[in-house]
Structure 1
Amino acid sequence: MATTTASNPSLAQKLRGIKGEAVKFGIVGLSGVVVNFAVFWVCINGLHLASLRSNIAATLIAIFTNYLGYRYWLYRDRDAASRKREITLFLLFSGAGMLIETGVLAFSVYLLGLDSHFEQLGAKVGGLALGTVFRFVSYRTWVFKAAPEPAAEVPAPAAEVPAPAAPTGAAAVVAQAELVLAAEQIRLAKAE
């Protein structure tokens, strides 16, 4: 198989392909940040909870609101065949992102001694930034997988023409790789 520019998109083309997705991810994420910070502020100032408890409560509520935005707006065209698997992975990766965020907050409060409310908010921003990068990569890679392209209907072969043998070994791997590349090109073209 000859490699061409069309079958092997450049890094710039790949980045253009995810630009719209990244912007929508940012919009949903920003709404989650607003929810997260509002709940965090109410918890530490109104309810006088400890900063880590406030952070966990705020992040859990934001995770719920973000799931709704990701599933029903950003990734609505993605495969939702196994909702149980999707929710499980979403919660798993969101929990890991929450641990990243809470770890940065705990480090700044308990090791660096930055314990004023505004210093805690600053640490929360840093942790949230690290957690967001982790979540973006994990959500698009494992949670909201692209739906497989529908197969075109192929007319049944005539009775007198024997069906070609299915490729085996290296030929099968090459055929599968060509199909994956074609599906990725279609997905990138749709994203632009």
Structure 2
Amino acid sequence: MADKRLLSIVKFGITGMSGMVIDFSLTWLFKDVLHVNKFLANAIGFSAAVMSNYFINRIWTFQNKAKISKQLAAFITVSIIGLLLNSMVVYVFNNLLLLNFYLSKIIAVGLVFLWNFSANYFYVFKSTKEQNTADL
């Protein structure tokens, strides 16, 4: 069980790294190239990464076969909370502590990772994971 959880954390981390590339690339494009408000740019990058991460985590990390509609709604809810946490951390570190925007975003990604993994492992993918193993 502990080995399986560790493997899930590693897979979740790898998936998160791919999402971080999507997040940072789109945030940079919208903020620095298209000159969109930094918080809107942050939300766009974050949202695109969330959608990518959902499907990778569903297929690879958690190998889950639940109905997409309910599960995706739960994943998006967890991600919206993650976005709010992410934006709050970016705001505090960038606007109040005057750290570089992208350094603030890296700190936010690290902190929000803890929330995202826990909520997805114990809430979004848990119920159907138990059903999948019960079917064996």
TM-score higher than 0.5 here?
yes
Is 1:37 equivalent to 2:24 in the alignment?
A: yes
Instruction: Give the Cα–Cα distance (whole angstroms) in 2 for the partners of residues 27 and 135 of structure 1.
Output: 13
Q: Which has the higher helix share?
A: 2
| Partner residue of 2:88 out of 86, 91, 103 | 103
Q: What's 2:101 paired with?
A: 120
Is 1:47 equivalent to 2:47 in the alignment?
A: no
5+ long unaligned stretches in structure 2: none
Q: Deviations over 1:109-134 (max 9, x none)?
A: 332234xxxx1000001111111110
In structure 2, the CA distance between the partners of 1:124 and 1:102, relative to structure 1 (3 Å rule), is: same
What TM-score comes out, normalization by structure 1 length?
0.64
- Please, what is the CA RMSD of the aligned residues? 1.5
Instruction: Give the Cα–Cα distance (whole angstroms) in 1 for the partners of residues 79 and 119 of structure 2.
Output: 9
5+ long unaligned stretches in structure 1: 1-13, 152-192
Q: What's 1:165 paired with?
A: none
Q: Deviations over 1:142-165 (max 9, x none)?
A: 1012132127xxxxxxxxxxxxxx
Q: Percent identity?
A: 26
Write the letter of the residue equivalent to 2:122.
Answer: T
Deviation, structure 1 residue 35: 0.4
Q: What's 2:7 paired with?
A: 20
User: What number of residue pairs does the alignment pair up?
Assistant: 132
Structure 1 residues 54-69: aligned runs within 5 Å: 54-69=41-56
Q: Which runs of 4+ in 1 moved over 6 A?
A: none
Q: What's 2:119 paired with?
A: 138
Deviation, structure 1 residue 79: 4.6
Larger Rg: 1
Is 1:147 equivalent to 2:130 in the alignment?
A: yes
Instruction: Give the Cα–Cα distance (whole angstroms) in 2 for the partners of residues 75 and 104 of structure 1.
Output: 28
Instruction: Give the Cα–Cα distance (whole angstroms) in 2 for the partners of residues 84 and 147 of structure 1.
Output: 18
| Partner residue of 2:75 out of 90, 98, 106 | 90
